[in-house]
Amino acid sequence: MDIKILTIFPEMFTGPLTTSIIKKARDKEILKIKVINFRDYSENKHNTVDDYPFGGGAGMLLKPEPIVNALENNLDLENNNQEIILVTPQGKTFKQEDANLLATKKNLTFICGHYEGFDERIRSYVTKEYSLGDFVMTGGEIPAMAMVDAIARLIPGVIKEEDSFKDDSFFGGLLEYPQYTRPRVFRDIEVPEVLLSGNHEHIRKWRRKESLRRTYKRRPELLMNFQFTKEDKKFLEEIKKEEK
């Protein structure tokens, strides 16, 4: 996958994109990431990227020319297998299903907003808009980092064992089941006996039921549109009785 990030603070991406799993994926060329300072595409000698809004108002807006020039000079805008993403509080809340979809694309470009907003005409080049949630940050850089990380780990070859993310919270619509490692007993709290049984079918059922239980107790709204199997319905009825 080829990812481009348009920002006026490229130095913010040095750590997150040059360590851990992302670094390994870049070293293997599974993932290509280019951070572009769109200030370099400004059309005046002062490299200005912002200006006052027409009609008045507080703060400054990002001008259209630097961002559009950066897009035109670094992207094939005719490419249909890409998404140009505006990171903005006005966008759709980014969820696992969005990460799953974007991970199938060959090319992604993130535009990191800043200041009080951006010239509306930039939107004509954008295919999707995302936010991390109902709160405002100082810029789009940190949300873009989070989205890139969530997407990158789904690309084949980035994580060694694909099954390791298939059980993640949200991937299948539920929160992840509880997990344990050694020691078997820690401060009088024991690992559930079923996990030590060696019976894979019993373990599978326990994990599924506990995943449903955790979702039911912590994020019940996720179950509203969940596609239950016959087994899931049975587990959920048991959970409701047990939790009363």
Q: Where are the domains of the chain?
A: 2-152, 167-242
How far is it, in rounded angstroms, from Cα 53 to Cα 34?
Answer: 30
CA 159/CA 95 separation, integer angstroms? 20
Is 107 in a helix, a strand, or coil?
strand
Domain 2-152: CATH architecture, name and number where available: 3-Layer(aba) Sandwich (3.40)
Residue-by-residue DSSP string for 23-37:
HHHHHTTSSEEEEEE
User: Could you tell me which residues come within 8 angstroms of residue 163 by beta carbon, excluding any fewer than 6 positions away?
Assistant: none
- Can you name the CATH fold of 167-242? Trp Operon Repressor; Chain A (1.10.1270)
Per-residue model confidence as pLDDT tens for the chain (244 residues): 999 999 999 999 999 999 999 999 999 999 999 999 999 999 988 899 999 999 988 889 999 999 999 999 999 999 988 999 999 999 999 999 999 999 999 999 999 988 778 999 999 999 999 999 999 899 999 999 999 999 999 999 998 765 455 555 556 789 999 999 999 999 999 999 999 999 999 999 999 999 999 999 999 999 999 999 999 999 999 999 999 8
pTM of the model: 0.84
Point out the catalytic residue in the list 40, 149, 168, 232: 168
Q: Is 135 annotated as a binding residue?
A: yes
Tally Cβ neighbours within 10 Å of residue 161: 7
Active site residue 168: yes
Q: Is 183 a catalytic residue?
A: no
66 is known as an active-site residue? no
Q: Catalytic: 178?
A: no
